[in-house]
Structure 1
């Protein structure tokens, strides 16, 4: 019976994160659109920060509770899930021509960050000093988005007609608060019960973090991508996914390093398997597209196939 309680708690945590993330993203998207910020910048900054909040909270709580393997697994696993599953789905359903100038710097930065993470972790641990290098890259990412926003604002013809009346403002404030509470409470349930499940099933915490927890905390990105597919807004989807991945690598891990008194142990499997897979799927998904100026369905199917094979390999 106790095992069923743990499974139930894990499921409730997952549902709370999904719904909380949904409300949070709705409120963040409304606020950003009401301000008239260009859509790609909305996706790469505000929506990315909003949809990455579950990963930030889950990894931080896991690190605080001593479940460092789950914290790292969730962060890196979310990067792999975002690219190998969510971006792949977006490419399969929206193999579109795009403006390379909007994507190239962030796409290259994303791949550089994954490579840098691998190099910085080669000693078997990510120290606070090394993680500050990642944090500096996060700062560059934000700077680049602010710069892009200024440039796009001059030429943008996009207009927003979102309501701004008092009732709408109150509803979105409530969504923001409820969404935040759902993410925080759900994250705690997910981490605590996920750790117990790992012990019961007999699999490493890192594998739980890389799969169930990572996919669970990436669901807000999936919801955002599905909505973007329906609205045929590829820029919002791609910007959100790449932005979320950059935040996962450059903000979450430094936070975890500070929580764990300055050092995060990095397993050999992470160096040999997880990070190389993240870099390979990012390269397949992005490099051909940056060269040709369009995404093609074969990229989406290839990346999704590699992700499925990776998950199978973990188990």
Structure 2
């Protein structure tokens, strides 16, 4: 009875730390964006994305040092899929998200491109040291380009930022950012530990725990940022955080892990055949969906969440060796075709509508 109470307390404490940490990080990042002449979107794509990818980096580097670098691939690929389908799905259900043109024209295509690059690099069965350097170079180039463009296009910071009061606000924002990151990391660790113990007490298979608690656990910071950002009217920072995290996870986390591993990070056949393509398809599907909607409403959130649950169901069925695997795959394929067909029809209608508006004579 006491153990059950402690586990419930741990779950609640972890959630509270995540929510408070997300709120502090959003406030600090937004303040620093204004002071540095950067938009909240750019801060979400860079600073916040790097901070919330810390759990993935810790897990991947630890796996490489302990002689199991292959876990890094599953961590990165799984986290990106969770970020797009689960995190954005839940965030859109809580509060609709509006997305700006930069995300559609630059950031999401970069995320898709990095995913495709990883898929190509992994065709030989590993991500080697040279591959890691290439992924890191892509991340650095993207980050520098994003910051430079933002500083050129964003209005200069107010003159009074140089005053003691302005410097005081900057220090405050830095403190909020650091404390927010610490609470996010601590909260995710507390929540993952408590949830893992609950799963063990209930007799759930370790594989299922890994596919659910661990995969989702390292993405909890992104989820907290998205929900808090969406509710607080900072959808640009929220979406930027997810897109930026996808780029950081592939370019930074996997790039660093490949360097740490030394002999390269092995990528097994199932990851190349299923998980990597699913990750790329998720980001590409998000790009198409946003091109049609210019944002994510609650219906879109339900579609993303449903896609994640379908993928998770496949992982469970495949891992357990269920005889229903083939039937499940066929049913999921039919459902996927229906969803893709619906999105394609909506895209064609949107293109026709915009074309008609562009051809309409001015009045």
Shorter-chain TM band: 0.7 to 0.9
Aligned equivalents of 2:168, 2:58: Cα separation in 1: 30
Which digits, 9 at most, give the CA deviation of each residue in 1:141-200, with x for residues without a partner? Answer: 11221233123314999xx9xx968987777666666666667788999999999999x9
Please name the residue that 2:294 is paired with. 294
Please name the residue that 2:349 is paired with. none
Deviation at 1:294? 1.1
Please name the residue that 1:46 is paired with. 47
TM-score, structure 1 as length reference: 0.77
| Structure 2: stretches of 5+ with no match in the other structure | 317-363
Distance 1:188 1:155, change over 3 A: closer
2:25 and 2:180 in contact (8 A); partners too: yes
SS of residue matched to 1:121 = helix
Deviation at 1:45? 1.0
| Structure 1: stretches of 5+ with no match in the other structure | none
Distance 1:147 1:213, change over 3 A: same
Deviation at 1:221? 1.1
Instruction: Tell me which structure has the larger Cα radius of gyration.
Output: 2
Distance 1:33 1:50, change over 3 A: farther
Please name the residue that 2:96 is paired with. 94
Deviation at 1:30? 4.5
Distance 1:264 1:238, change over 3 A: same
Distance 1:256 1:12, change over 3 A: farther
SS of residue matched to 1:148 = helix
SS of residue matched to 2:218 = helix
Deviation at 1:211? 3.2
Please name the residue that 2:36 is paired with. 35
1:43 and 1:243 in contact (8 A); partners too: yes
Please name the residue that 2:137 is paired with. 136
SS of residue matched to 2:127 = strand
RMSD between aligned residues: 3.9
1:127 and 1:257 in contact (8 A); partners too: yes
1:43 and 1:240 in contact (8 A); partners too: yes
Distance 1:11 1:263, change over 3 A: farther
Aligned equivalents of 1:285, 1:172: Cα separation in 2: 32
TM-score, structure 2 as length reference: 0.68
Matched, 1:285 2:286: yes
Please name the residue that 2:63 is paired with. 62
Aligned equivalents of 1:251, 1:34: Cα separation in 2: 26
1:71 and 1:256 in contact (8 A); partners too: yes
Distance 1:186 1:90, change over 3 A: closer
- 1:236-247 equivalence runs, <5 A: 236-247=237-248
The farther-off stretch of 20-29 and 112-121 is: 20-29
1:58 and 1:71 in contact (8 A); partners too: yes
1:134 and 1:251 in contact (8 A); partners too: yes
Please name the residue that 1:313 is paired with. 314
